[in-house]
Amino acid sequence: MSQQLSYVIITPYSLHKSRTGGILSRLITRTGLELVAARMFAPSSELVNQYSQAIISRNDPQDSRVQSLIHDYILQNLSPDPATGRRRRAMVLLFKGEDAVRKTRSVVGNITTERRGGETIRDTYGDLIIGEDNQVRYFEPAVLAPPTAEECEAKLKLWTRYSDSDGGILEDTIGYPSGEKTQRTLVLIKPENFRFPSGRPGNVIDFFSRTGLFIVGIKVHRMSVAQAMEFYGPVREVLRTKLKDMVAAKAKAALEKEFGFKLPAEKEGQLGELLGPAFGDNQFDNIVKFMSGQAPSEIPEADWAKPGSERCIALVYEGVEAVRKIRDVLGPTDPSKAPPGSIRREFGQTIMVNAAHASDSEENARREIGIVQPGENNFRQVVEEFCGKA
């Protein structure tokens, strides 16, 4: 069967209730599909109206009453807030693979009053409550997904047409009490979480949800060699100097063992000065290769700007004390020193393979966001590669 592209929209309510991680984990682990793009949207009235009209379909296995409920739900809950005019957040995830539309819809599930113990995403996170008078008391679909490949393509093209004007790193989608100072910070869910289809990316997002912060940007990113070198550039000189003593001690011990005599103490310092910078550069190259898939020495400089082979998720979080809160949940760089309940204690392995990165200051957040560009519209690129121009 040929490759398909499918989408899942996480509703504003599911985002507000921090269910993003759990939903993503189920979609990855139960479909086996590849997450190829993701984008935050603050839908305009125009997009919402057109999408709600496209929801009513003869090809949808759900009955007309449920389709009508979804139509009304979209108009009421994805449109800008009528009281404030503030747009609401929605997240669109794109999955690629064989039979992708059927697989995503199967995991999402249909809407029914009969709960099945959490079998599908909607069983767990959605609700349809009907009173004794047969009137709907409460309705929340949790996510939205296409019923067929044909409808998937049409709806993806619709969202893509609005992906520049209504999508990216969102502005003014969260209301804060007067006087509260908010921050934005960057998180990278690192490549080791994507070696095979697993719940790890979603689980890491779940941990970050404890902060009470809001996701305002998301991008599936393949870091280039050039981006990795710039991103981790401040670390390079630290590695060249910080590791001198360790390198000197190891070199001295190895030489003494090999040649069978003791080296004078001053020679150890000279070894550090000689070998420390070279070892630091090697460690830096290892970091670049881990994040991008290739070390600078392995490819021509002309190819350094091309997207790498390794995948990560870039997230922008917003809220009060965002930098500190994210760093607290993440834990220190060395997983062995991270406290219980932190991301790096739960998911990290080494100082480099430590699950996620987070900016350590507002200044660095701005610098790193500028390098990774979470607002870049690779969502459009993926859709148009599969479906043609929107």
Catalytic (active-site) positions: 357
| CA atoms lying within 13 Å on the CB side of residue 121 | 31
Any idea what the Cα angle at residue 389 is, between residues 388 and 390, rounded to 5°?
115
- Which amino acid, 163? S
Please tell me what DSSP assigns to residue 233. Answer: H
- Count Cβ atoms below 10 Å from residue 202 Cβ, excluding itself: 22
Q: How far is CA 206 from CA 128, 202, 271, in A?
A: 25, 6, 46
388: left (phi > 0), else alpha (psi -120 to 50), else beta? Answer: left
- Which amino acid, 358? A
- Which amino acid, 342? S
Let me know: does 296 contact 229? Beta carbons within 8 Å: yes
Give the β-pairing of 312-320 and 127-130: unpaired
Token duo for residue 118: 């959490």
CA nearest to 318, candidates 203, 218, 204, 192: 218
Q: Where are the beta strands (DSSP E) in 174-311?
A: 182-189, 214-221
